[in-house]
Amino acid sequence: MAKLRKKLLVGLLQLFLMISCLGAFGFTSLASQRGGRVLFISSYSYAWDVVRLQMEGIRDGLGDDVMLDYEFMDTKQVYDEESIRLFYESLKYKLEHMAPYDAVILGDDEALKFAMEYQAELFDGIPLVFEGVNDETFAAEAAADPYITGVLEQASMEKNIQLGLDLIPNANKIVAIVDNSLAGQAEREHYYKCAEQFPQLQFYEINTANLTTTNLRQEIRAVDKNTILLYISMTEDKSGRQYTDKEAVAVLSEVSGVPVFRMIEAGIGEGILGGNVVPMYESGYIAAGVVTDILDGADIREMQGVLDSPSEYRVDAVVMEKYGISEAKLPVNATVINEKQSFVERNREVLAPMGVLLIALLIIVVILIIDNYRNKKLLSELKNAKRTIETASQHDFLTGISNRSKFMGDLTQMFEEGIPCTIFMLDIDDFKHINDTMGHTAGDEALQQVADRLKKMSSQILTPYRYAGDEFILILQSSQQMLVEKTAYDCRQIFGKPFTLDKRPVKICGSIGIATYPKDTENLEELIIFADEAMYEVKKNGKNDFAFYKKKTEGEA
């Protein structure tokens, strides 16, 4: 009877495990079959940190089964009727020659304005989901359309001003850095509406579009310590100089004598104090969540018109220390970056696996003491595991980036899955001369610094690898010409500033060859060869540039 009960229990357990596995398999299969085609139109360009954060959030929110394309209006650089017309004609041509999209995500105000203007012609019946839109009235008007919904980008101006008063108790005025862009003017209007809530402050502005480069720096430098300085928007000045977000942050952190508050996360950790911010990754992720609901069958016409903006307090500990600001004055649950960490905190990622390893070794030692036979067996398994780990290592020891083995594995997977991609073969010019004249230590420093600069370029869709010797290679998970050209310029730009070798500045150049799958070839080995050939064309023609692979005509050498 006891044996019968035991068999019955075992049978029931096996049945339960089988049903659980089938259920999990069914769920996974359903999730993997979502599919869909989504287009992301950004008001700006890939060069802006906020855009890359939005794109990462959207990509992660959609998942790998959804195909995501990108288009960039680049309104920070040029924003007039002709630029909009050219963007419209280019997009219209593409849409006429490809399968329709299931949904379109619109990044920031200008993209939403464009989509509304050409909705009937380009996006008829297609759900439009916006994110990063500052103008609340404009967003509400857009969401009145049954096929439009989205997420606001509204860190509370009031919360940022109050944070300024909490951190600078003697403040008697506030100055906002603004410009004449659509988003900048919308925030400027909101800024002045706050004056009634803070009668103890005098409200001023520095409009970058009305000041020359020299005067702008003078105005920022003149802001005194009893002033809350709020960075809203700074894309150009009266001299015609245009600023990327990184450039604007660099100018403010260099020139300002007071902490700079901001309502978006970009720049925090690079000299900006921070504030009540809108996390752009989270905005993109939320918008992608709306799209996945639509792809799963939800009707956009039954969705909420405008979703509330995500926000959090985020500040830089380095800037707080610079201006003597106490962390005790921060709101509860504020995120503080760049805090000084203890030894354990700094090395947690190393100590944790070391602790696990030590425990494992102790267990092994105990087992070895108990049983000599198991001792031999476990030692053999340990040696095999060590060899497996060493063989499977996928990172370059010198530079810390992925190695050639990892590159070949990643590229092979993209070819197998039919993912369009572009590779950039990068070779340091005259690297032998560096080794011969300065020594191999300087050569190693050059390789490490090139790798560090490439790592700063990496993103959800761009990965650098050390290929061999002084050669590096990057994979861009896209074949879109605009994105490929932008990445090529970025690669060349890593050689724009001198490197520090043997404690002195040294100019280093590099040659870059580019080949795209499937445009140039559908063969993996040929793709690498073509990128290498394009790189050597640059070498032959003067070096320090990039070139795209071009098929040779008959008779050409």
**pLDDT, tens digit, 9 for 90 and up, residues 320-372:** 999 999 989 999 889 999 987 666 766 777 777 877 888 988 898 888 888 77
Helix (H), strand (E) at residue 302 = none
Asked whether residue 28 is domain-assigned, the answer is: no
pLDDT(16) > 50: no
**Which domain covers residue 420, as residue numbers?**
404-548
Asked whether residue 398 is domain-assigned, the answer is: no
Asked whether residue 557 is domain-assigned, the answer is: no
Asked whether residue 12 is domain-assigned, the answer is: no
| Pair 192, 329 in one domain | yes
Average the pLDDT over each of 63-72, 270-279, 301-310, 473-482 and give the range with the smallest value.
301-310
Instruction: Indicate the number of domains in the chain.
Output: 4
Percent of the chain with pLDDT over 90: 67
| Pair 231, 179 in one domain | yes
pLDDT(547) > 50: yes
Asked whether residue 16 is domain-assigned, the answer is: no
| Pair 194, 323 in one domain | yes
Asked whether residue 399 is domain-assigned, the answer is: no
Average the pLDDT over each of 93-102, 134-143, 187-196 and give the range with the smallest value.
134-143
Asked whether residue 27 is domain-assigned, the answer is: no
User: What's the pTM?
Assistant: 0.48
| CATH number for the domain harbouring residue 506 | 3.30.70.270
The whole-number pLDDT of residue 152 equals 85
Confidence at 3, pLDDT banded by 50, 70, 90: low
| Pair 315, 328 in one domain | yes
The pLDDT of 184-213, averaged and rounded, is: 93
CB-neighbour burial class of residue 88 (10 A; exposed 0-12, middle 13-18, buried 19+): middle
Distances (CA, A) of 321 to 255, 316, 334, 340: 18, 9, 16, 11
| Pair 73, 145 in one domain | yes
| CATH number for the domain harbouring residue 73 | 3.40.50.2300
Confidence at 378, pLDDT banded by 50, 70, 90: confident
| Pair 519, 449 in one domain | yes
| Pair 177, 323 in one domain | yes
CB-neighbour burial class of residue 102 (10 A; exposed 0-12, middle 13-18, buried 19+): middle
| Pair 161, 272 in one domain | yes
Q: Rg (Cα) of the chain, in Å, rounded?
A: 28
Asked whether residue 181 is domain-assigned, the answer is: yes
The whole-number pLDDT of residue 462 equals 96
With vertex at residue 275, the alpha carbon angle to CA 270 and CA 276, rounded to the nearest 5 degrees, is: 135
Which residues, 6+ apart, have CB-to-CB distance to 264 below 8 Å? 50, 153, 155, 277, 278, 280
How high does pLDDT run on average in the chain? 88
Distances (CA, A) of 209 to 226, 235, 246, 257: 25, 8, 18, 22
| Pair 224, 315 in one domain | yes
| Pair 330, 189 in one domain | yes
State the amino acid at position 369 in one-letter form: I
Domain boundary among 255, 290, 307: 307
| Pair 324, 225 in one domain | yes
The whole-number pLDDT of residue 28 equals 36
Tens of pLDDT, residue by residue over 234-278, are 989 999 999 988 899 999 999 999 999 998 888 888 999 999 988
Tokens (6 digits) for 518: 């499937």
| Pair 443, 518 in one domain | yes
Tokens (6 digits) for 499: 């490197």
**How many angstroms separate the first and last alpha carbons of the chain?**
88
